[in-house]
A and B are shown apart, each in its own frame.
Chain A
Amino acid sequence: MTTTTAPAATTAAGKPLPRQPWNRHLLAIAVLTVLLIPLPLILPPAQASVAVRVLIFALMSIGWNMMSGFGGMFSFGHAAYFGIGAYAGGFLLVEHNVSPWIGMLVGMVIAAAFATLIGFLALRYKLRGAYFALATFAFAEMLRLWATNSEFVNRAVGYHVPLRPESSWWWMQFEPASANYFWIALGLTVIALVVSVQFVRSRAGQFTKAARDDEDAAAAVGIPVMRYKLLTMALSAAITAVAGAFYVQYFLFIDPDLAFGSSVSIQAILPAVIGGVATIWGPVIGAVVMGPLNDVTATILRNPPPALEFLQGRGGLDVIVYGALLIIIVLLLPQGIYGALRKRWSRR
Chain B
Amino acid sequence: MTLLRVENLAKSFKGLRAVDDVSFEVTEGSILGVIGPNGAGKTTMFNLVAGALRPDTGRVHLGGKEITGHAPHRITAAGMTRTFQLMRPFYSMTVLENVTVAVLAGGAAKRTARETAAEVIARVGLDKWRDAPTEGLPTAALKRLELARALASKPRVLLLDEVLAGLVPAERTPVMELLERLRTEDGVTLVFVEHIMAAVMRLSDSVLVLDLGRVLTSGAPEEVTRDPRVIEAYLGEDPHAKA
Contacts and interface: CB of A to CB of B under 8 A. Distances in A.
B73 A222 contact: yes
Contacts of B122: 11-13
Contact of B72 (A17, A18, A216): A216
25 contacts: A13-B127, A15-B118, A17-B114, A17-B115, A202-B110, A203-B110, A206-B100, A210-B90, A210-B93, A214-B89, A214-B91, A217-B84, A217-B149, A219-B52, A219-B72, A220-B72, A220-B81, A220-B83, A220-B84, A221-B76, A221-B149, A222-B77, A222-B81, A223-B101, A278-B92
B105 A223 contact: yes
Contacts, number: 102
A11 B127 CA distance: 11
A225 interface: yes
Contacts of B152: 221
B81 to A, nearest CB: 7
B40 to A, nearest CB: 22
Nearest to A20: B114
Contacts of B106: 221-222
Contacts of B101: 206-207, 209-210, 218, 221, 223
B115 A222 contact: no
Interface in B112-167: 114-115, 118-119, 122, 127, 130-131, 149-150, 152-153
Interface string B40-72: 000000000010100000000000000000011
A216 to B, nearest CB: 7
A213 interface: yes
B127 A223 contact: no
A162 interface: no
Contacts of A223: 73, 101, 105
Interface in A16-43: 17-18
Contacts of A220: 50, 52, 72-73, 76, 81-84, 150
What interface size band does chain A fall in? 20 to 34
Most chain-A Cβ atoms within 10 A of its Cβ — which of B81, B93, B105, B130?
A: B105
A15 B94 CA distance: 16
B154 to A, nearest CB: 10
Most chain-A Cβ atoms within 10 A of its Cβ — which of B101, B110, B152?
A: B101
Contacts of A9: 114-115
A224 interface: yes
A224 B88 contact: no
The main secondary structure of chain B at its interface with chain A is helix
Given A12-B119, A17-B96, A222-B153, A216 B73 contact: no
B52 A203 contact: no
B50 A214 contact: no
What interface size band does chain B fall in? 35 or more
A226 B97 CA distance: 21
Contacts of A216: 52, 72, 84, 88
Contacts of B150: 220-221
Contacts of A217: 84, 88-90, 149
Interface in A197-214: 202-203, 206-207, 209-210, 212-214
B90 A18 contact: no
Contacts of B131: 18
A327 to B, nearest CB: 25
A231 B90 CA distance: 20
A59 B77 CA distance: 37
A285 B126 CA distance: 37
Given A13-B127, A17-B114, A217-B84, A224 B92 contact: no
A221 B77 CA distance: 8
A203 B101 CA distance: 8
B104 interface: yes
B93 A209 contact: yes
A320 B41 CA distance: 54
Given A13-B118, A202-B110, A210-B105, 19 more contacts: A11-B118, A12-B119, A13-B122, A203-B110, A206-B97, A206-B100, A207-B104, A209-B90, A213-B90, A213-B92, A213-B93, A216-B84, A217-B84, A217-B88, A217-B90, A221-B76, A222-B77, A222-B153, A224-B71
B108 to A, nearest CB: 10
A140 B79 CA distance: 42
